[in-house]
Amino acid sequence: MTLKPPFATLLSSDGSDRRFFKIRWKGKPALAIEPSPGDTGTSESCSYVAIGNHLARAGIPVPKLYDFNKKTGIIVVEYLGDRHLQTEILALISQSKWSRVKELYRQALSLLAKMQIWGCRGFNLEWCYDSEYYDSKLAGEREAFYFLRSFVEDLMGCSKTPELEDELSRLASQVDFIDNKEYFLHRDFQSRNILVRDGILRIIDFQGGRLGPLGYDVAALILDPYVALSKNIWPELLQFYLDELDVLDIAVDKTAFEREFRLLALLRTMQVLGAYSYLYLKKGKIFFRPYISPALSNLKTLLSCKDFEELEHLRLLAAELNY
């Protein structure tokens, strides 16, 4: 396969080291995904294929797989265009079409609930190239302390303290007290990983899938800085999601779920701030810079909850930060 002009058009890739090309495949438009360099890139491609096939069998709308070259790691899938949910939502917000905004979010949350429930059935942990579960170790190393290193220290120029590190460690450890972490977890379920094609939502970038708690992906969508939804809408969308779980015969304790949701939302927001800061500072991807401010606003909102009153040093630090 020749991934060079005029046979292929290089597309943008946000934060990924993979390269994406629009090509023609057997007479129709397709997307070729070239893995990032090294063995990890090849493993990521294998996860994309295995998890994508699994989700498709479960009835989840993902791109159709056309071809996979195991030697090169190049994947060819259905081309679904470039209309992200983010683009759709921001256009509607600019026109104050809030009923349509909520309708699209309800569609996304309904789809998410199905993916979490149906996707965990028959899920093979060997498909995971990264890690098999979302747990306290991952939450600590790649969310709380990623935030501390890349956002607090590198971007904001603040110094860490033993007290702050202790608070972050204790925060991440709370993940292990969530009762059920056996659902399918996308781990980046936000508006730029959902495409709108002919009025239907399609999920992409699922190769980092693993098992984990229900609340994480819900938080990733509702608190998505790419859209920066009004905080007044969060409870309504969360209640709709809980109603969808009920339709799927998944019983959850609402009070416990909402507490877990706030914990996971805080950790997700830390991950986002760490990632945006790293990609902007270290990789020169200025695309991410405008989204740091809404993510920081989310952090401050979450830290105002009573759940996190004991995070004294983190709350004081956040109150002093502006971007």
- CA 276 from chain centre, in angstroms, equals 13
Residues 121 and 69 in one domain: no
**Mean pLDDT within 130-144:** 97
C-alpha angle 46-50-54 in degrees, rounded to nearest 5: 165
Nearest CA among 79, 83, 104 for reference residue 193: 83
What pLDDT digit, counting tens, does each position of 274-289 carry? 999 999 999 999 999 9
Q: What is the CATH number of the domain that holds 38?
A: 3.30.200.20
Residue 7: the pLDDT is 77
Residues 184 and 291 in one domain: yes
pTM (two decimals): 0.96
Q: Which helix (H) or strand (E) holds 318?
A: helix 312-320
Report if residue 109 sits inside a domain: yes
Q: Which of residues 35, 63, 78 is at a domain's end? A: 78
Structural domain count of the chain: 2
Q: Which position has the higher pLDDT, 39 or 96?
A: 96
Residue 16: the pLDDT is 85
Residues 297 and 183 in one domain: yes
pLDDT more than 70, % of the chain: 98
Report whether 280 contacts 292 (CB < 8 A).
yes
Residues 238 and 143 in one domain: yes
Report if residue 3 sits inside a domain: no
Residue 138: the pLDDT is 98
Residues 254 and 116 in one domain: yes
Report if residue 172 sits inside a domain: yes
Report if residue 1 sits inside a domain: no
Residues 117 and 187 in one domain: yes
Sequence-ordered strand ranges (E) for the chain: 8-11, 19-25, 28-34, 65-68, 75-78, 183-185, 194-197, 200-203, 210-212
Residues 58 and 94 in one domain: no
Q: Which of residues 46, 78, 110 is at a domain's end? A: 78
What pLDDT digit, counting tens, does each position of 190-239 carry? 999 999 998 899 999 999 999 999 999 999 999 999 999 999 999 999 99
Residue 275: the pLDDT is 98
**Confidence class for position 252, pLDDT limits 50, 70, 90:** very high
Residues 246 and 183 in one domain: yes
Using alpha carbons, list the distances in angstroms from residue 220 to 4, 114, 132, 185, 212.
Answer: 35, 16, 19, 11, 13
**Mean pLDDT within 70-92:** 96
Domain that holds residue 70: 8-78
What pLDDT digit, counting tens, does each position of 4-48 carry? 555 789 998 888 889 999 999 999 999 999 999 988 999 999 999
Report if residue 276 sits inside a domain: yes
Residues 93 and 72 in one domain: no
Residue type (1 letter), 61: P
Residues facing residue 32 across a β-bridge: 21, 76
Residues 63 and 113 in one domain: no
- Centre a 10 Å sphere on the Cβ of residue 164 and count the other Cβ atoms it contains: 19
Report if residue 180 sits inside a domain: yes
Report if residue 286 sits inside a domain: yes
Report if residue 2 sits inside a domain: no
What are 2's two structure tokens? 């020749």
Q: What is the CATH number of the domain that holds 184?
A: 3.90.1200.10
Residues 181 and 91 in one domain: yes
In the predicted model, what is the mean pLDDT of the chain? 96
Residues 112 and 48 in one domain: no
Q: Which of residues 54, 78, 102 is at a domain's end? A: 78
Report whether 175 contacts 267 (CB < 8 A).
yes
**Confidence class for position 1, pLDDT limits 50, 70, 90:** low
Residue 105: the pLDDT is 98
